[in-house]
């Protein structure tokens, strides 16, 4: 049938070799399959848990749910900082995101102009992968729904509802509360290694960080803790399914209640008008700050949205410095508002207040002429009259009698030259000069390290090296009014419902009650003696509720050789600072107020006192006990009309804006 | 002329019905089980849908199964006579693809005839096995051990391997080379030569990787060696595949519940990485079962090769199953992170018509060897035609 072409044994040999090697090959294949099986066992049985975790990490994605920021309220619960809904547009960055194309699509739905487009592209460029970048904030409902309807065609785009900080009073609380703003690169850098910071939250596009004031100081309390929504996602990051049961609810931030009163604060900013300066009001019984205004102010809401370069420049370069907090960061010479403190120092030094000093309008000492603000002189006065008249000559001489260290001691006891822990940063200590201070301040100039006697007289009228801030002035006034306790100010009433320590649990002042009573009497005369420097401007028009105060002028330039300072300075920058401190009611002190009007002109009565009076009226009228006191003795129809006229201000001061500091003569 | 019951009469074994009965139906059943598993997985990853993969997978398998049965009844002597022509046609097509082939994914692999596109390298997988088997059929044991005559098989293997590698399709080139070498070894190559060759290849690997490979090919190998260095780029495939496998655990996540494949984290889930899908949904037990089926196919085929009376049949069957085994081992190792990612599918399980057709034609050849195990294949003495 066939011819054997190969010898038979050869056939057998070939077959044998094949069988052996096929057997070997089978063995190799079997070994290979077993190796695969072993590897499977390793992955699926030994390391299964690890890979199950990785798989779940792939499958489920926790999308951060930012916590609502804690509210900031005034003492009565009026919100000073709250949150409102914000419709915004996010673009999720991905490896193959064509940002230009996405923006082209979006531009058909919402307005995106050239500069905004450039900014978005920059943001997208900087953002980490898979991070959502806010393209638009504060969209209208129409824009929001227009984008939402087309969301399926725009895979990288999400329109969502977040929350944004809102300050209902705009600028009134801007310096105290501060503002929140976008997390900057520097913030991220600072928080990078801080385990207490939620890094994911910091990177969330809607998240804002406190940048100033209470918002900054209590940022961690206000923040709360982020929650998360659990979502099943596919490899492209698209949400396949939401799992509400797996959600973690965010913990809202703590509520912070301030001691400030929105009504008083708003009125204070209102009465400041165009002026630059500060008004601080403090409760004389417990140290609560009722008002802390710096003017001019700025709208904190603009900062939340992000300020344009031009806007910021305008704010930063305006000569009245809206960004500076003049209530505690700005320091000023106190001028004559310092005289009650000098009086206290003199009483402590054992100087008899009834010793009369003659003021002829000037005084020669150390080879120069020291002028009184009243060129005609005040005649012979004791300390009470000298405070009432704010006589410079009296205080030049009294200061010289006791020396700078005695004055500095009293000044520190009254609250000057120090900062108080009110919870927010930014206070400047100012300078309370004495011999020790001179040694420190002139380290490099040994010749200047000794205290020259010629420095003491101006110290006595609150000039020279002495500088204070408005908060310190309010503290001084409150301590003077309280006449017992060394009150400290309190701004933060409660954090998350936890009441903060009151400013009343403090030691007593190191002055005998009768000394304080004497000086208070002088301050009462300033406001209520018809010849007091601020009599007309200090009438509250609230029946027998009376105010006590002290005027002050702080020179910003030298008047050497100028005989009469009235009407001398011309441009705003060269005008004197105008100060006024006051407390009321005189017979039962409750509220102390300090007003600084930068370059307000000569005489604290002109610009400072009327504003202090207006703010004081709001505080007093809000106080139910004072109200009851005012309203109880209903004036009878047949009562003598003079009484009412005498107790009232020239015009109805509650509703009218300020009288534009008209006819009164300037008093220091 | 072995005597065996009713089949002892001359010509009896040539009757189609007898041939049909001689087909190894157990073997066919195992093939159906594997293809069925593939369809099941394809159904699952399409989101419990027959479209787009599962139905077509089954239809294809059905058609190819019929082709296999028909081929099984083709006389071994016909297989023998077309061995060289098939090889030469395959070689010609490989040359053609160099000249006029379609470029797809940066490699020239496809040839279009009208609307029909196919890869000539698939033809070569069968052609080389047939040609080598035919050549060795006429070679003495001594010559097969080591002689100048081995230059011919060396050239027969070398030509297509170089052509395929030049496309470049490294995976297929390695597969073709390994298949050819398996036949050379099975035919009785001297152990000394084998050892020398292995050492030589090992020594040649580093310079080859450094100087000959394309960048993407080199990256795949480097990524394989250290997948964590770039988990979202080149290492992504391997890492996601390992996650799918590992997270399956002992019993798997359940049919249709594999999050890795369902949510597209797993790349090429319906083709090269379908084994990972299986592992994720059916766990260690499911995988082990499928590997067992593959093992069964390999051992049954080797047994068929061993019982063949003709050297041609032995080598053809063994060479074909060697290709198949290499497919399984390479794909398995790749999916499990033991080998670099090369485009080698899991035969019968993965979606894709070309490879399945090649494999089924191969099984047709194996079945033909079984059906015609007593056939004397005489002609040829190492001659080329």
Distance of CA A443 to the CA centre of its chain: 34
Structure tokens at A107: 């531009």
Q: What is the DSSP string of B316-335?
A: HHHHHHHHHHHHHHHHHHHH
Rounded to the nearest 10°, the torsion over CA B169, B175, B177, B182 is 180
Rounded to the nearest 10 degrees, the angle between the axes of helix B274-307 and helix B25-45 is 170
pLDDT in tens, A489-505: 999 999 988 888 887 78
> Considering only residues 293 to 322 of chain B, which have any Cβ-Cβ distance to chain A shorter than 8 Å?
294-295, 298-299, 302, 305-306, 311, 314-315, 318, 322
All structural domains of chain A with their residue ranges = 8-46, 61-257, 262-647
Q: What b/e sequence results for B274-303 when a residue is b if at least 16 CB atoms lie within 10 Å of its CB, and e otherwise?
A: bbbbbbbbbbbebbbebbebbbbbbbbbbb
Nearest to A22 among B287, B306, B381 (CB): B306
pLDDT of residue B115: 57
Mean pLDDT of chain A: 83
pLDDT of residue A386: 93
> Considering only residues 87 to 126 of chain B, which have any Cβ-Cβ distance to chain A shorter than 8 Å?
none
Structure tokens at A600: 């307000």
Chain A neighbors of B260, CB-CB under 8 A: 55, 58-59
Residue in A closest to B251 by C-alpha: A44
Contact flag B288-A36 (C-beta cutoff 8 Å): no
Read off the pTM: 0.64
Structure-token match 């207006």, residue found = A614
> What three-state secondary structure class fits B70?
helix
What is the distance between the alpha carbons of residues A256 and A259, in angstroms, rounded to a whole number? 10
The H or E element spanning position B162 is helix B151-165
pLDDT of residue A2: 45
Average pLDDT, 10 consecutive residues per value, chain B (385 residues): 57 84 93 94 88 91 95 92 93 86 61 68 92 91 86 93 85 89 92 91 83 74 63 68 86 83 78 89 92 95 92 94 94 87 86 88 95 78 41
Contact flag B329-A40 (C-beta cutoff 8 Å): no
- Among the listed residues B251, B341, B332, the one whose alpha carbon sits nearest the alpha carbon of residue B292: B332
Q: What b/e sequence results for A465-486 when a residue is b if at least 16 CB atoms lie within 10 Å of its CB, and e otherwise?
A: bbbbbbbbbbbbbbbbbbbebb
CB atoms within 10 A of CB A531: 11
Structure tokens at A223: 């923040």
Chain B neighbors of A59, CB-CB under 8 A: 259-260, 263, 265
Residue in B closest to A240 by C-alpha: B263
Angle at B28 between CA B26 and CA B32, to 5 degrees: 115
Nearest to B250 among A3, A33, A44 (CB): A44
What is the distance between the alpha carbons of residues A332 and A320, in angstroms, rounded to a whole number? 15
CB atoms within 10 A of CB B348: 29
What is the distance between the alpha carbons of residues B345 and B335, in angstroms, rounded to a whole number? 10
What is the distance between the alpha carbons of residues B53 and B45, in angstroms, rounded to a whole number? 9
How many residues would you count in chain A?
668
**Residue A52 near chain B (CB below 8 Å):** yes
Distance of CA A250 to the CA centre of its chain: 27
Nearest to A33 among B295, B306, B380 (CB): B295
**Residue A232 near chain B (CB below 8 Å):** yes
pLDDT of residue B60: 93
Contact flag B246-A52 (C-beta cutoff 8 Å): yes
**Close Cβ partners of B321 (under 8 Å, ≥ 6 residues apart):** B297, B298, B301, B302, B305, B362, B366
Residue A384 predicted with pLDDT over 90: yes
**Close Cβ partners of B221 (under 8 Å, ≥ 6 residues apart):** B209, B213, B340
Distances A77 to A18, A73, A74, A294, B349 between C-alpha atoms, Å? 96, 5, 5, 22, 70
Chain A neighbors of B311, CB-CB under 8 A: 11, 14-15, 18
pLDDT in tens, A60-74: 777 778 888 999 999
Structure tokens at A446: 């040994």
Q: Which residues of A are catalytic?
A: 336
Q: Tell me, letter by letter, the H, E, C secondary structure of A3-69.
A: CCCCCHHHHHHHHHHHHHHHHHHHHHHHHHHHHHHHHHHHHHHHCHHHHHHHHHHHHEEEEEECCCC
Q: How many CA atoms lie within 13 A of B311 on its CB side?
A: 35
Facing residues of A79 across strands? Answer: A73
Contact flag B284-A40 (C-beta cutoff 8 Å): yes
What is the distance between the alpha carbons of residues A200 and A66, in angstroms, rounded to a whole number? 10
**Residue B187 near chain A (CB below 8 Å):** yes
What is the distance between the alpha carbons of residues A522 and A534, in angstroms, rounded to a whole number? 12
- Residue A532: burial class (beta carbons within 10 Å; 0-12, 13-18, 19+): buried
pLDDT of residue B383: 41
H-type helices in A510-667, by residue range? Answer: 513-528, 604-622, 624-631, 641-647
Chain B neighbors of A20, CB-CB under 8 A: none
The answer to whether B136 and B156 are in contact (CB under 8 A) is no
- Its sign, for the CA torsion A335, A339, A344, A349, is positive
The answer to whether B261 and B244 are in contact (CB under 8 A) is yes
Structure-token match 């982020």, residue found = A226
- Its sign, for the CA torsion B173, B178, B179, B184, is positive
Backbone angles phi, psi at B50, to 5 degrees: -70, -25
- Residue A146: burial class (beta carbons within 10 Å; 0-12, 13-18, 19+): middle
pLDDT of residue B46: 87
Q: How many CA atoms lie within 13 A of A605 on its CB side?
A: 24
Distances A220 to A175, A223, A252, A437 between C-alpha atoms, Å? 19, 5, 11, 38
The answer to whether A259 and A289 are in contact (CB under 8 A) is yes
Q: What b/e sequence results for A283-305 when a residue is b if at least 16 CB atoms lie within 10 Å of its CB, and e otherwise?
A: bbbbbbbbbbbbbbbbbbbbbbb
Contact flag B279-A40 (C-beta cutoff 8 Å): yes
Nearest to A51 among B247, B318, B328 (CB): B247
> Considering only residues 54 to 83 of chain A, which have any Cβ-Cβ distance to chain B shorter than 8 Å?
54-56, 58-59
CA distance B332 to chain A (A): 7
pLDDT of residue B176: 92
Facing residues of A625 across strands? Answer: none
Average pLDDT over every residue of A280-305: 90
pLDDT in tens, A236-291: 666 677 777 777 888 889 999 999 999 999 999 999 988 899 999 999 999 999 99
- Its sign, for the CA torsion A606, A612, A613, A615, is positive
DSSP β-ladder status, A157-166 and A208-210: unpaired
Q: What is the DSSP string of B111-149?
A: EEETTEEE-HHHHHHHHHHHHHHHHHHTS-HHHHHSSGG
pLDDT in tens, A551-578: 888 877 666 555 555 555 567 777 888 8
> Considering only residues 120 to 179 of chain B, which have any Cβ-Cβ distance to chain A shorter than 8 Å?
138, 140-141, 144
Distances B136 to A12, B79, B129, B202, B384 between C-alpha atoms, Å? 14, 15, 11, 27, 11
Chain B neighbors of A29, CB-CB under 8 A: 295, 298-299, 302, 325, 329
Residue in A closest to B191 by C-alpha: A21
pLDDT of residue A11: 61
Contact flag B186-A25 (C-beta cutoff 8 Å): yes
Q: Tell me, letter by letter, the H, E, C secondary structure of A394-418.
A: HHHHHHHHHCHHHHHHHHHHCCCCC
Backbone angles phi, psi at A574, to 5 degrees: -95, -5
pLDDT in tens, A605-617: 678 888 999 999 9
Look up the CATH number of domain A61-257: 3.90.1310.10
Q: How many CA atoms lie within 13 A of A220 on its CB side?
A: 6
**Residue A39 near chain B (CB below 8 Å):** yes
Nearest to A18 among B186, B259, B337 (CB): B186
pLDDT of residue B113: 64
pLDDT in tens, A19-54: 999 999 999 999 999 999 999 998 888 888 888 888
The H or E element spanning position A368 is strand A368-371
**Same fold yes or no, A61-257 and A262-647:** no
- Among the listed residues A521, A538, A542, the one whose alpha carbon sits nearest the alpha carbon of residue A620: A542
The H or E element spanning position A143 is helix A141-149
- Residue A637: burial class (beta carbons within 10 Å; 0-12, 13-18, 19+): exposed
pLDDT of residue A491: 93
The answer to whether B249 and A44 are in contact (CB under 8 A) is yes
- The fold of A262-647 is Beta-lactamase (3.40.710)
């Amino acid at each position: 049938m066939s011819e054997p072409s190969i010898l038979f044994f050869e056939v057998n040999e070939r077959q044998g070799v094949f069988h052996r090697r096929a057997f070997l090959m089978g063995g190799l294949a079997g070994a290979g399959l077993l190796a695969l099986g072993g590897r499977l066992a390793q992955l699926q049985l030994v390391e299964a848990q690890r890979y199950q975790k990785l798989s779940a990490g792939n499958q489920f994605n926790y999308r951060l749910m930012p916590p609502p920021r804690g509210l900031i309220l005034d003492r009565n619960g009026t919100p000073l900082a709250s949150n409102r809904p914000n419709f915004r547009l996010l673009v999720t960055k991905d490896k193959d995101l064509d940002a230009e194309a996405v923006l082209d699509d979006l531009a058909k739905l919402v307005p995106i102009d050239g500069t905004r487009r450039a900014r978005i592209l920059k943001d997208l460029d900087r953002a980490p992968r898979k991070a959502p970048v806010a393209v638009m904030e504060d969209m209208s409902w129409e824009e929001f729904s227009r984008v939402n309807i087309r969301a399926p065609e725009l895979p990288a785009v999400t329109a969502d509802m977040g929350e944004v900080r809102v300050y209902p009073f705009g600028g009134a609380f801007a310096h105290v509360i501060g503002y929140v703003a976008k997390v900057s690169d520097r913030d991220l850098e600072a928080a990078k290694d801080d385990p207490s910071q939620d890094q994911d939250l910091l990177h969330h596009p809607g998240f804002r960080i406190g940048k100033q004031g209470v918002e900054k100081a209590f940022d961690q309390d206000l923040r709360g803790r982020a929650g998360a929504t659990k979502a099943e996602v596919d490899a492209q990051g698209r949400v396949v399914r939401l799992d509400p049961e797996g959600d973690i609810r965010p913990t809202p931030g703590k509520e912070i209640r301030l001691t400030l009163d929105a009504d008083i604060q708003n009125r204070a900013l209102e009465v400041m008008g165009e002026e630059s300066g500060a008004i601080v009001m403090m409760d004389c019984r417990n140290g609560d700050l009722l008002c802390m205004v710096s003017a001019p102010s700025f709208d904190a809401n603009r900062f939340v949205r992000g300020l344009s370069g031009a806007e910021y420049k305008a704010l930063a370069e305006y000569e009245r410095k809206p960004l500076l907090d003049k209530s505690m960061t700005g320091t000023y010479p106190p001028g004559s508002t310092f005289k009650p403190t000098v009086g206290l120092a003199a009483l402590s030094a054992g100087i008899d207040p009834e010793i009369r000093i003659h003021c002829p309008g000037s005084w020669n000492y150390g080879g120069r002429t020291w002028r009184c603000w009243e060129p005609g002189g005040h005649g012979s006065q004791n300390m009470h009259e000298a405070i009432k008249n704010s006589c410079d000559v009296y205080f030049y001489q009294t200061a010289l009698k006791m020396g700078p260290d005695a004055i500095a001691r009293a000044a520190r006891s009254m609250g000057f030259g120090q900062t108080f822990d009110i919870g927010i940063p930014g206070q400047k200590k100012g300078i309370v000069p004495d011999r020790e201070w001179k040694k420190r301040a002139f380290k490099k100039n040994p010749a200047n390290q000794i205290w020259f006697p010629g420095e003491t007289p101006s110290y006595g009228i609150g000039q020279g090296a002495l500088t204070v801030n408005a908060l310190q002035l309010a503290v001084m006034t409150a301590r003077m009014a309280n006449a017992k306790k060394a009150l400290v100010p309190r701004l933060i009433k409660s954090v998350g419902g936890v009441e903060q320590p009151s400013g009343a649990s403090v030691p007593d002042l190191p002055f005998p009650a009768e000394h304080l009573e004497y000086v208070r009497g002088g301050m009462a005369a300033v406001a209520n003696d018809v010849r007091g420097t601020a009599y007309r401007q200090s009438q509250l028009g609230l029946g027998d509720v009376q105010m006590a105060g002290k005027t002050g002028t702080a020179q910003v330039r030298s008047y050497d050789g100028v005989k009469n300072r009235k009407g001398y300075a011309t441009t705003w920058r060269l005008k004197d600072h105008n100060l006024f401190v006051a407390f009321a009611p005189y017979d039962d002190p409750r509220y102390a107020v300090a007003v600084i009007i930068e370059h307000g002109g000569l005489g604290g009565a002109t610009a400072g006192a009327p504003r202090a009076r207006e703010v004081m009226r709001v505080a007093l009228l809000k106080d139910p006990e004072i109200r009851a006191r005012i309203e109880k003795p209903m004036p009878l129809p047949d009562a003598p009309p003079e009484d009412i006229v005498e107790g009232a201000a020239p015009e109805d001061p509650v509703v009218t804006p300020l009288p534009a500091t008209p006819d009164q003569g300037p008093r220091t | 002329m072995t005597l065996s019951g009713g089949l002892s009469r001359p010509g009896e074994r040539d009757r189609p019905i007898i041939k049909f009965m001689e087909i190894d139906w157990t073997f066919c059943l195992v093939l159906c089980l594997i293809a069925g598993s593939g369809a099941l997985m394809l159904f699952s990853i399409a989101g419990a849908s027959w479209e787009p993969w599962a139905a077509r997978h089954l239809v294809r398998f059905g058609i190819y199964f019929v082709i296999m049965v028909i081929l099984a009844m083709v006389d071994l002597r016909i297989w023998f006579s077309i061995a060289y022509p098939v090889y030469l046609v395959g070689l010609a097509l490989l040359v053609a693809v160099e000249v006029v082939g379609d470029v797809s994914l940066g490699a020239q692999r496809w040839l279009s005839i009208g609307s029909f596109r196919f890869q000539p390298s698939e033809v070569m997988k069968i052609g080389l096995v047939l040609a080598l088997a035919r050549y060795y059929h006429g070679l003495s044991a001594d010559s097969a051990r080591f002689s100048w005559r081995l230059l011919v098989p060396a050239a027969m293997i070398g030509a297509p391997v170089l052509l395929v590698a030049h496309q470049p399709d490294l995976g297929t080139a390695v597969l073709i080379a390994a298949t050819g070498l398996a036949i050379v070894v099975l035919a009785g190559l001297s152990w000394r030569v084998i050892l020398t060759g292995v050492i030589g290849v090992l020594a040649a690997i580093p310079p080859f990787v450094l100087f000959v490979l394309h960048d993407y090919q080199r990256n795949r190998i480097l990524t394989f060696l250290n997948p964590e260095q770039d988990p979202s780029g080149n290492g992504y495939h391997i890492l996601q595949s390992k996650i799918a496998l590992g997270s399956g655990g002992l019993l798997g996540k359940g049919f249709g519940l594999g999050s890795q494949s369902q949510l597209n984290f797993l790349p090429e889930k319906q083709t090269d990485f379908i084994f990972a899908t299986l592992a994720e949904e059916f766990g260690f037990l499911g995988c082990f079962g499928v590997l067992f089926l593959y093992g069964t196919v390999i051992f049954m085929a080797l047994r068929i090769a061993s019982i063949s009376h003709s050297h041609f049949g032995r080598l053809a069957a063994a060479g074909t199953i060697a290709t198949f085994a290499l497919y399984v081992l390479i794909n398995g190792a790749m999916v499990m992170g033991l080998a670099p990612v090369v485009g080698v599918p899991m035969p019968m399980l993965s979606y894709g018509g070309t490879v399945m057709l090649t494999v089924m034609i191969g099984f047709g050849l194996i079945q033909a060897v079984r059906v015609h195990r007593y056939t004397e294949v005489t002609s040829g003495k190492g001659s080329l035609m």
